[in-house]
Amino acid sequence: MDIFTGDVPYLTTDQMREVDRAMMEDYQIELIQMMENAGRNLAALARSRFFDGDPRDKRVVVLAGTGGNGGGALVCARRLHNWGAQVQVFLTKPDAAFTPIPAHQLDILHRMNVPVFPAAAIDQAQPRNLVVDGIIGYSLKGAPRSEAAALIRWANAQRAPILALDAPSGVDTTTGTVFDPAIQATATMTLALPKEGLRAPGVEAKVGELYLADISVPPELYAEPALGLQVGPLFSESDIVRLR
């Protein structure tokens, strides 16, 4: 995939929260739709970038938190399972701790009999071809703790490449602060528009290759007074573009 050379604005965390709010409240594009778009694109990037277009029998470990970032990773897990990958999912918290829309995605995986485990069982993970990081997104507040921290440290200790959703878990998406621990991603697929923290000095080593994926944000939304951005049709040729 060629690197995109057009002008792409970067967003702060607060601006991304405004995008999410406007999507749901002003444009009636529901979270479940955005999450499905994110997870579908993440699975598609995994297939093309790490599996040479064929995920059949590839071993994938998906690490998922309880919020929207985890929900997108769970959609990715479902899609890769449907495409023939051998998928295992490890959760930072019990099912009851998941917010409603990610909980819905988790319920689908249970109904499909995709193997799902608590973080404490991570040492039982299969040998793997890819680790998917959906632990913490732009809601990060300080250094990851407890199960989230344990899964990050486990992922970084593996030889398999890591594909992070939106931002490597442990990286602040506005300041670029790298907390301890933080995911060392091979590639990161961020959503809608890239986040300011992903271009902060020194963060490139954590982000790896940076991709941008479409979650169907209307260009008119960016032009609203709260954001005041002029964003063209970034995804006219592909749902995913490479930024670096």
State pLDDT tens for residues 114-129: 999 999 999 989 888 9
Torsion 79-82-88-90 (CA) sign: positive
Question: Measured between alpha carbons, how far is 34 from 38 in angstroms, rounded to an integer?
Answer: 6
Are residues 48 and 230 in contact, defined by beta-carbon separation less than 8 angstroms?
no
Domain map of the chain by residue range?
A: 16-242
Stretch 145-152: mean pLDDT, rounded? 96
**Which pTM value belongs to this model?**
0.96
Residue count of the chain, please give it: 244
CATH H-level, domain 16-242: superfamily: YjeF N-terminal domain (3.40.50.10260)
Q: From residue 39, how far is each of 97, 110, 230 by CA, in Å? A: 20, 17, 26
Question: Measured between alpha carbons, how far is 51 from 48 in angstroms, rounded to an integer?
Answer: 6
Question: Measured between alpha carbons, how far is 127 from 133 in angstroms, rounded to an integer?
Answer: 16
DSSP helix/strand/coil, 92: coil
Residue range 76-103, pLDDT digits in tens: 999 999 999 999 999 999 999 999 999 9
- Residues whose CB falls within 8 Å of the CB of residue 36, separated by 6 or more in sequence, listed in order: 75
Q: From residue 76, how far is each of 62, 70, 148 by CA, in Å? A: 8, 10, 19
Residue range 174-212, pLDDT digits in tens: 899 999 999 999 999 999 999 999 999 999 999 999 999
